[in-house]
Amino acid sequence: MSVLFQSIINTGKPYSFRQIISKSTRICKCFSKRKFSDISRRFLSFDEVVAQRRAEAKRSLVVQVNSEASFNELYGYCSKYASVNGIHHYKNSGDEHFMLIEFKTEEESKKVIHSCSSHQKDVDVMALHSPFLWFRAVSGKKEAFQIPKSQLMTTKGCNSIDEDNLIEELANCEDVSEQIQQMHDRTALNDLGVRLRYMVARQIERIFESLYANIVVRPFGSSVNGFGKMGCDLDLVLTNILNEEMCDSSKRLVYQEKKCEGGRSPWQRHMELVGELLELRVPGATRVQRILHARVPIVKYAHEFTDVDCDLCYNNMSGVYMSELLWLYGSLDPRVRPLTFVVRRWAQTVGLTNQHPGRWITNFPLTLMVLFFLQQKGKDGCVLPSLKTLVQYAGKEDVRLAEENLNCTFLRDMNKLPTDTYGQNKANLETLLLQFFEFYAQFDFHDKAISINEGVAIRKPNTLPLYIVNPLEQALNVSRNVSYEECERLKLEVRNAAWLLDAGLDGKKTDGWGILGLIERKSTRGLKNLLKVGNSHRLVSVKDLFNNDDDKIEKVNAKRNSEMKQVLAQVDNKPKEKIKFKNTQVASEVYRIRRDKII
């Protein structure tokens, strides 16, 4: 049974099938792709997906255009040099229009790049080859191009999600499971978003190729692990790992190389150089910030052509392997990612997470909490296996060592995983969400730690308020920054969420039914209720003030006078208490103030 039809069964509605089919251009197709030549294959490995995305980036270009109407002219111009696979359109925050063009092969893409020109000679720039271009307006008579047979594959593909429309769509869903699936489909990072992030990595790679041997810039984190939402940041790692061919001792000619000298770590010096190159040589890179004395030195910058905030580090392969692990867990069952999305959104709404670093819990520990819950064995079994199970079934081809000999070995090919180790629990998304909140409402955070390695709660090694084991570096606590107050708030909020969700499952579709009560801010809901009430509490409406009908004015005045009399009568009926003052001077002063107010 494919992942697609498993999703239909788990949600229990044919709506999921219609949504997945209708939004096939939005959702990353790699997650459910299947090779029909091999019937027994269900899952693509993470390396296969990354290789496919990297190949797409190598045969693609991003071109700044005047508007969406430039499609015909751009398509016709590029068709003179190469065969066009497809074109996607988007706008950045500066309201500038861009089109991502994918060609048939990488060689055709290189041919187009070599046909490009630089700026005018009188402009003080240094020319370089980059996959980010702009489409110059023609001087004189425009060249006539044939109308292309194909159309834009995506228009305005990176626009932000309209919250009001999203809430309205969720309110019109048939049940809670459909709400959860719909929220995931509408907010998940789409195909164009993934393509653009790989294009940013490809741009860095092309510019650094002359400086490093075997250079590879790999995206990791939420952009590639399947849990990213629209507008998420891009984490990049720069590696120049030498392969066996480059280290062949039988070859007598050897490169002359530069040895790093100085007291600082060589990684810090490399990242300092990278920061300088980003400022001087990378088009679109702005707001470059160097953080070189952290545990993992990084360079932060913003890419204005794609509206993506980037964090670039050097040789941190453990982050890539962590992304691979999360991607594998998300691909094992179609309920994992939607459930994680709604939990993250709930945490953001109630203020458990914060966009600034500090004492708050972050999305990564929340994701591990969802995975840990799905590993719990119920009457029917579990949804996900423990990491210990993935390590148990790993082979020699799965051995991976990251920096400082960190062991990152686990099963990479999920087709080799026995089917009785996962997917036994067939509960729908609605049931799983309620059980998630109930599970952590009863969890012993004081004495127990969360570990997806074991799949069961383990004893806390210290007295930190919240302990969530890092899956790859088990001596580390990924939630060590969470304060005692925030941990107590987490316990309180999961209990409140369990109560709210359980109360909303009575079948009545009120304003905050289903997950709406969890993901919609109370202030927003209160404002909407106030707008619905309108002028019902006003004694005189604005419309009546400009109405010349004397009869209506008299009726309004009569209504107002009667209501005022009722209010005064209620005041007069209240028993009057005689106030005792300290002396006659205080009493006379109080009476004077009352007299002035009446006058």
Q: What is the mean pLDDT of the chain?
A: 82
Q: What letter would DSSP give residue 238? A: E
Measured in whole angstroms, the distance separating CA 247 from the mean position of its chain's CA atoms is 40
Residue 97 has pLDDT above 70, yes or no: yes
CATH-assigned architecture of domain 45-159+190-246+264-318: 2-Layer Sandwich (3.30)
Nearest of 84, 87, 88 to residue 104 by alpha carbon:
84
Residue 547 has pLDDT above 60, yes or no: no
Give 111-140 pLDDT, tens digit per residue: 888 888 876 665 677 778 889 998 988 776
SS3 410: coil
Provide mean pLDDT across the span 524-540: 50
Provide mean pLDDT across the span 203-224: 89
- pLDDT bin (cut points 50, 70, 90) of residue 552 is low
Angle, CA 559 vertex, CA 554 and CA 562 arms, to 5°:
120
Give 141-188 pLDDT, tens digit per residue: 777 676 777 787 878 788 888 888 999 999 989 999 999 999 999 999
Both structure tokens of 30? 């790699």
How many CB atoms within 10 Å of residue 301? Answer: 22
N-term to C-term CA, the chain: 84
In this structure, of 65-79, 389-403, 448-462, the range with the lowest mean pLDDT score is 65-79
Q: Which residues of 260-274 are buried (b: 16+ CB within 10 A; e: fewer)?
A: eeeeeeebbbbbeeb
Q: Which of 6-10, 528-532, 595-599 has the highest mean pLDDT?
A: 595-599
Helical pair 3-11 and 15-22, crossing angle rounded to 10 deg: 140
- pLDDT bin (cut points 50, 70, 90) of residue 81 is confident
Q: Is the Cβ–Cβ distance between 63 and 138 less than 8 Å?
A: no
What confidence score (pLDDT) does residue 564 get? Answer: 66
Q: Which of 99-108, 257-266, 505-514 has the highest mean pLDDT?
A: 99-108
Indicate the burial class of 229 (C-beta count within 10 angstroms; 0-12, 13-18, 19 or more). middle
What confidence score (pLDDT) does residue 16 get? Answer: 44
> How far apart (Å, rounded) are the C-alpha atoms in residues 382 and 5?
20
SS3 549: coil
pTM: 0.80
Backbone angles phi, psi at 63, to 5 degrees: -120, 130
What confidence score (pLDDT) does residue 60 get? Answer: 94
Bridge partner residues of 392 (DSSP): none
Measured in whole angstroms, the distance separating CA 385 from the mean position of its chain's CA atoms is 24
Both structure tokens of 384? 């996900």
- pLDDT bin (cut points 50, 70, 90) of residue 470 is very high
> Hey, do 45-159+190-246+264-318 and 335-384+422-503 end up sharing a CATH topology, with the first three levels equal?
no
> How far apart (Å, rounded) are the C-alpha atoms in residues 465 and 479?
9
Domain 335-384+422-503 sits in CATH at 1.10.1410.10
Higher pLDDT, 379 or 101: 101
Q: Which residues of 303-328 are buried (b: 16+ CB within 10 A; e: fewer)?
A: bbbbbbebbbbbbbbbbbbbbbbbbb
Residue 532 has pLDDT above 60, yes or no: no
What confidence score (pLDDT) does residue 214 get? Answer: 82
Task: Name every residue whose Cβ is closer than 8 Å to that of residue 525 and which is 6 or more positions away in sequence.
Answer: 511, 512
> How far apart (Å, rounded) are the C-alpha atoms in residues 101 and 114?
16
Q: For the chain, which residues make up each domain, given as ranges?
A: 45-159+190-246+264-318, 335-384+422-503, 542-598
